[in-house]
Amino acid sequence: MKGRDGLQGNPETRGQYVLIVLDGLGDLPHPSLQGNTPLGAATTPHLDALAQRSELGLLDPVRKGVAPESDAGVLGLLGYDPEQESPGRGVLEAMGISLDLRPGDVALRFNFATTDASGKIVDQRVGRNLATEEAAALAEALTQARLLESEGIEATVSATVGHRGVLRLTSLTPEELSPDVTNSDPFYERAGRAGHAVKPKEPRVKEVLPQNSTPSAVRTSRALNLFSARVANLLPEQEVNHFRKARGALVANNLIVRDAGTLPQGLPSFAARHGLHGAAVTEMPVERGIALLLGLADVFVGPMGKDVPGALRHRAEMVRRELDQEHRPFVYVHLKGPDEPGHDGDALRKKQIVEDLDQHFMGPFLDGLDLSRVTVAVTADHSTPCVLRGHSDDPVPLLVSTRGKVQDPSKNVRYTEDFAWKGTLGEHLGKELLPYLLRGEWPTSG
Q: Is the per-residue pLDDT at 198 higher than 80?
A: yes
Round to whole Å and give the CA distance between 353 and 312.
Answer: 11
CB 111 within 8 A of CB 255: yes
What CATH code is carried by the domain that includes residue 339? Answer: 3.40.720.10
Q: Which of 261, 285, 315 is the last residue of a domain?
A: 261
| Helical (H) or strand (E) element with 3 | none
- Closest CA relative to residue 418, chosen from 49, 131, 56: 56
Do 230 and 340 sit in the same domain of this protein? no
Q: Is the per-residue pLDDT at 397 higher than 80?
A: yes
Q: What is the mean pLDDT of the chain?
A: 93
Lowest mean pLDDT: which of 41-45, 234-238, 405-409?
405-409
Do 114 and 52 sit in the same domain of this protein? no
- Verdict on whether the full-model pTM lies above 0.85: yes
User: What tens digit of pLDDT does each residue of 153-189 get?
Assistant: 999 999 999 999 999 999 999 999 999 999 999 999 9
Q: Is residue 56 part of a domain?
A: yes
Do 199 and 243 sit in the same domain of this protein? yes
CB 76 within 8 A of CB 430: yes
Do 299 and 427 sit in the same domain of this protein? yes
Q: Is residue 181 part of a domain?
A: yes
Do 157 and 227 sit in the same domain of this protein? yes
Query: Side-chain half-sphere of 214: how many Cα atoms within 13 Å?
Result: 12
Q: Is residue 444 part of a domain?
A: no
Q: Is the per-residue pLDDT at 439 higher than 80?
A: yes
Do 238 and 341 sit in the same domain of this protein? no
Q: Is residue 1 part of a domain?
A: no
Do 80 and 108 sit in the same domain of this protein? no
Q: Is the per-residue pLDDT at 3 higher than 50?
A: no
Contacts 24+ apart (CB under 8 A), 42-45: 42/351, 42/352, 42/354, 42/355, 42/358, 43/355, 43/358, 44/354, 44/355, 44/358, 44/362, 44/414, 44/415, 45/358
Residue 14 has a pLDDT of: 56
Q: Is the per-residue pLDDT at 259 higher than 50?
A: yes
Domains: count for the chain: 2
Boundaries of domain holding 285: 11-86+265-439
Do 232 and 270 sit in the same domain of this protein? no
Do 277 and 257 sit in the same domain of this protein? no
Q: How many other CB atoms are there within 10 angstroms of residue 150's CB atom? A: 10
Q: Which of 212, 239, 261 is the last residue of a domain?
A: 261
Q: Is residue 228 part of a domain?
A: yes
Q: Which of 228, 261, 294 is the last residue of a domain?
A: 261
Do 165 and 20 sit in the same domain of this protein? no
Q: Is residue 445 part of a domain?
A: no
Distances (CA, A) of 421 to 115, 239, 342, 399, 413: 40, 52, 20, 11, 12
Q: Is the per-residue pLDDT at 407 higher than 60?
A: yes
Q: Is residue 6 part of a domain?
A: no
Q: Is residue 5 part of a domain?
A: no
Do 106 and 253 sit in the same domain of this protein? yes
Do 61 and 104 sit in the same domain of this protein? no
What's the pLDDT band for 445 if we cut at 50, 70, 90? low
- Strand 426-429 and strand 54-60: the pairing is parallel
